[in-house]
Amino acid sequence: MQSDLILNVYKVLGLGGVAFFLGIVLTPLLSHYLYKYKLWKKSSVRITIDGREATISNKLHNDEVKKTPRMGGILIWATTLIVALLFWLISIVSDNPFFLKFNFLSRTQTWVPLGIMIAGSLVGLIDDIFVVSEKGKYSGGGLTATRRILLITLIAALGAFWFYFKLDMSAIFIPGAGQFNLGWLFPIFYILVTLAVFSGGVIDGLDGLSGGVFANIFAAYAGIAFFQNQIDIAAFCAVIAGSILAFLWFNIPPARFYMSETGMMGLTTTLAAVAFLTDAVAVLPLIALPLVIESLSVIIQLSSKRFLGRKAFSVAPIHHQFEAMGWPSTKVTMRFWIFSTVFAAFGMIVQLISH
């Protein structure tokens, strides 16, 4: 029993470490091609999501001068995929029980979130390609907001189908109240949660901001899965966290590249799947509170413009509001990291003591 526990710790932490160092090794190759082909935005955002001139946002971004490549998120999902396939192949060709233990690909735990991650990341990659080539009708190029939402909804619907019909899931756990059966509403709820998490992707707006926050979130879910003895999910989340930390190593100011949609779409859709697989979707708003606040700031801003005829904030999302107030971007980023760490840990504790 004690030896199994030790092996599980080695598996989760060890695989996270492997992902981190592999990501560090792969970064020079990735960044070489990103810079070689000048895969950055050629112009700043001129128009806001509601069709108005983005004066403040344009000053804060200044993409024409920065010339920092997008698609850094490739490092996260590619590293995760390579680690998963590597240890799966090792488990096939080796009879060593130690290496067999490190394979974390399993039908009941990790097939679905890994598949969702790749699907979301590839959709994001298409959007990024449109952005850097300035194709599409969206401001600065890229898929329109409507098309992004439709594609994310399609990915979520496929995930909901698998959870409801293949894994026979129709209930969610609510701390303090126990299991709550949603019945046929479960697939709809799953899609709505995925869209809600995706809306928090607006946090990807400052050097190092999204990387630090998402690393905390996936580390928290790795902890939840570990204590629930879902070791493959724990290892999967640890690998993602390790990959994000490798990305973050090069994304802290001044960023070598940005995560952009190929990272954000993959991470947000995967996060929703992991939350359901660990039966910890009810604490998702706590663990991912920075995403909730970022998304709400945009909703409040748009609603205020539409119904009150004025802005609620100088600029949204809220991390740009803090910049507009005079905070250095590094201060905003690091305070978000601290805030994220506290609430990720708090949400994990709430889930574990009540489950």
Q: What is the 3-state secondary structure (H, E, C) of 229-290?
A: CCHHHHHHHHHHHHHHHHHHHHHCCCCCCCCHHHHHHHHHHHHHHHHHHCCCCCCHHHHCHH
Whether pLDDT at 48 is above 60: no
Burial 304-328 (b: 16+ CB within 10 A, else e): ebeeeeebebebbbbbbbbbbeeee
pLDDT value of residue 100: 83
How far is the CA of 92 from the CAs of 83, 106, 111, 194, in angstroms? Answer: 14, 13, 17, 34
Residue 238 structural domain: 2-354
**Which residues have CB under 8 Å from 214's CB, separation 6+?**
244, 267, 271
* The total number of residues written for the chain in this structure: 355
Direct distance between the N- and C-terminal alpha carbons of the chain, in angstroms, rounded to an integer: 22
Rounded Cα distance between 50 and 62, Å, is: 20
Tell me the per-residue pLDDT of 210-251, one tens digit each, with 9 for 90 and over: 999 999 999 999 999 999 999 999 999 999 999 999 999 999
Q: What is the mean pLDDT of residues 42-58?
A: 58
pLDDT value of residue 42: 78
pLDDT value of residue 56: 56
Tell me the per-residue pLDDT of 56-68, one tens digit each, with 9 for 90 and over: 555 555 555 468 9
Q: What is the mean pLDDT of residues 155-174?
A: 94
Whether pLDDT at 130 is above 70: yes
Q: What is the mean pLDDT of residues 250-258?
A: 94
Rounded Cα distance between 156 and 188, Å, is: 9
Q: What is the mean pLDDT of residues 16-36?
A: 97
Number of domains in the chain: 1
